[in-house]
Amino acid sequence: MIFDPQHRKNVRSARISMALFRLSQAIKKVTQEESDVIGLSPVQVQALLFCQYTRSDVATVGNFASTIGTTHVTAVKIVNGLVSKGLISKVQKSDDRRVTLLQLTSAGIEIIPKLENWGHVLEEALHPISDIMLANLELGLGSIISSLEDRGHLTVAEPCLGCIHFHPNVGETAQPHYCDLIHKYLTHQASLQQCPEHTPLSKPKA
């Protein structure tokens, strides 16, 4: 039981689990404060950033729900709140009208620069830590994220580079890259957007 300090004394995984739990509490607090300044909730900010950085053809409510680790119903409520504020619009996917895609409206696009520093308090907290320690931390955290992903607790969306399905520079100039998962050629810009199907070439060892 990670909340039992005596147990933590003897078990490293319990100590690290508790550290991660405390981190999650701190992150919740700082992102709430950063969101209050903008007049949005942290999940609303995440929805706007999801629309901004996710490849447009996979920016679905379902993928948003997976990204923030919530249910579809909760994600719909968050999105509907932003639709009422005029920041997000819902459009049907052109080649599959059963799928609804999320897009920033012009008002949503205008608000994005205000979100540029969202998360900076967390990043600044890492500045005093040495590079070598951060490199080790990155490896360790990568393993934890990978393990959580394998257990279905987390979805990690990343751009195409480093994905096993990515075939760069095999097509025409307008759409130079190919994805063998969705069997489509991609523009360079699309390949730089986050994709929830990203499958890393090499996963950090658990």
Which residue, 64 or 166, is less far from ligand SF4 as judged by CB? 166
State how far the alpha carbon of 183 is from the alpha carbons of 156, 168, 186, 191, 201, in Å.
21, 13, 10, 14, 18
Expressed in angstroms, the distance from the first to the final Cα of the chain is: 21
**DSSP string for 107-140:** HHHHHGGGGTTTTHHHHHHHTTS-HHHHHHHHHH
Least Å distance between CB 31 and ligand SF4? 26
* C-alpha span between 64 and 104 (Å, rounded): 14
For ligand SF4, which is the closer residue by CB, 143 or 199? 199
Q: Considering beta carbons, is residue 18 or 182 the nearer one to ligand SF4?
A: 182
Distance of closest approach, residue 95 Cβ to ligand SF4, in angstroms: 15
CB of 43 to ligand SF4, least distance (A): 24
Closest approach, Cβ 195 to ligand SF4, in A, equals 3
Residue with Cβ nearer ligand SF4 (44 or 66): 66
Element of type H or E holding 200: none
| Residue nearer to ligand SF4 on the CB measure, 8 or 198 | 198
Q: Which residues bind ligand SF4 (CB under 6 A)?
A: 160, 163, 165-166, 179, 181-182, 195, 197-198
Specify whether the CB–CB gap between 63 and 203 falls below 8 A: no
Minimum CB distance to ligand SF4 smaller for 56 or for 100: 56
Closest separation in Å from C-beta 182 to ligand SF4 = 6
Task: DSSP for 178-194, please give it.
Answer: EETTTTEEE-HHHHTSB
Q: Compute the residue count for the chain.
A: 206
CA separation for the pair 146, 151 (Å, rounded): 9
Closest approach, Cβ 192 to ligand SF4, in A, equals 10
